[in-house]
Structure 1
Amino acid sequence: SLQFTGGPTLPTTAFFREISGIGVEYGVAEHKTVSESGIPFIQKIPARPTYSPITLKRGIASDLSLWLWHKMVVDEITAELARTNVQIVMYSRMYLPVLQWSLKRAWPSKISGPQFQTDSTDVAMEELTLVHEGIEIDTMGSMIGRAAGLL
């Protein structure tokens, strides 16, 4: 189970069954230099990070706060307010917090409703994609986090 908390429309808490895209990639800058003995070499150093968009999926809900948040992005008056810090918490089967990802200045770049098929028994799903300006991870002091070597 994944819990999402954040959003400027209300202190929104929503539960999602699937998440993808958590990650960061650093560019590589090459710095040409010379060693103390006069031998030229190229030193590779980390450049600016690129944060992956994060996609969350859940069964369709009657709560419209995520849709209202998405609407804020395109409104000139509320666009800057749409950027907010978000926490995504992963829970164990016993509903104990295991990991938390904190996103800085996140906002929804995409939201989509369900695809309907009259003969399907599948749960109608909605999808939210967030872009952000930074990510941190916290194992929340869990035994699972320690066992996985994440502390």
Structure 2
Amino acid sequence: MTSESQNQPWPLPKFYFSISFESLNSAISFQEVSGLDTEPQTLEYRKGNNPQFSTINMPGIVKTGNIILKKGVFRNDNAFWNWYNALKMNIVKRETIVIKLLDESGSTTMTWTLSNAWPTKITGTDLNSEGSEIAIETLELAYEGLSISEA
């Protein structure tokens, strides 16, 4: 091996991460996180004095998808259901949620921060008397802003 190939970093594994909610003082263990995407809407624009009969594309308002979190069901753990039930009468507590990708030593390598997140859907576990899997619930969150930072 050459010294150049030894200095190339390895891609980060995606299985070691932590998620914390602003209102809770500790990280919550989740099995899976998906939906960390953001994209600008494309606007077509044509200047009135443009000699070409065509439009140009410009970035517009940024839109985000919903975040989907999956976690095991624990006895007497109704925090997310209680948060979801607060949606009645258009009253909802919005949260700042921090998702951290960790390296082998537990140090943060990348951070995603979701602003003003709130639950849009909770899916309880499926039940099957022939299965041996753990009970998993799914929490889907809408949010208003996504910022990404590296350690």
Q: TM-score range by the shorter chain?
A: 0.7 to 0.9
Aligned mates of 2:45, 2:145 — CA distance in 1:
25
CA, structure 1 residues 116+69, in 2 after alignment: closer, same or farther (shift >3 Å)? same
Question: 1:2·1:17 contact (CA, 8 Å) conserved in 2?
Answer: no
SS of the equivalent of 2:133 reads coil
Pairwise CA distance, 1:57: 0.6
The residue that corresponds to 1:134 in the other structure is 145
The residue that corresponds to 1:74 in the other structure is 88
Could you report, residue by residue, the CA deviation over 1:94-137 in whole angstroms, capped at 9, with x for unpaired residues?
43322211111100101122111122111111111000111011
Pairwise CA distance, 1:39: 4.0
Pairwise CA distance, 1:93: 4.1
Q: 2:65 aligns with which of 52, 72, 78?
A: 52
TM-score where L is the length of structure 2: 0.77
The structure having more radius of gyration, on CA atoms, is 2
Identify, as 1 or 2, the structure richer in strand: 1
Q: 2:56 aligns with which of 32, 43, 52?
A: 43
The residue that corresponds to 2:119 in the other structure is 108
Q: 2:102 aligns with which of 77, 91, 115?
A: 91
Which stretches in structure 1 are left out of the alignment for 5+ residues? 142-151
Partner amino acid, structure 1, of 2:128: Q
Tell me the matched-pair count.
Answer: 134
Q: 2:35 aligns with which of 10, 21, 24?
A: 21
Pairwise CA distance, 1:5: 1.5
SS of the equivalent of 2:86 reads helix
TM-score where L is the length of structure 1: 0.77
CA, structure 1 residues 39+119, in 2 after alignment: closer, same or farther (shift >3 Å)? closer
Identity of aligned residues (%): 24
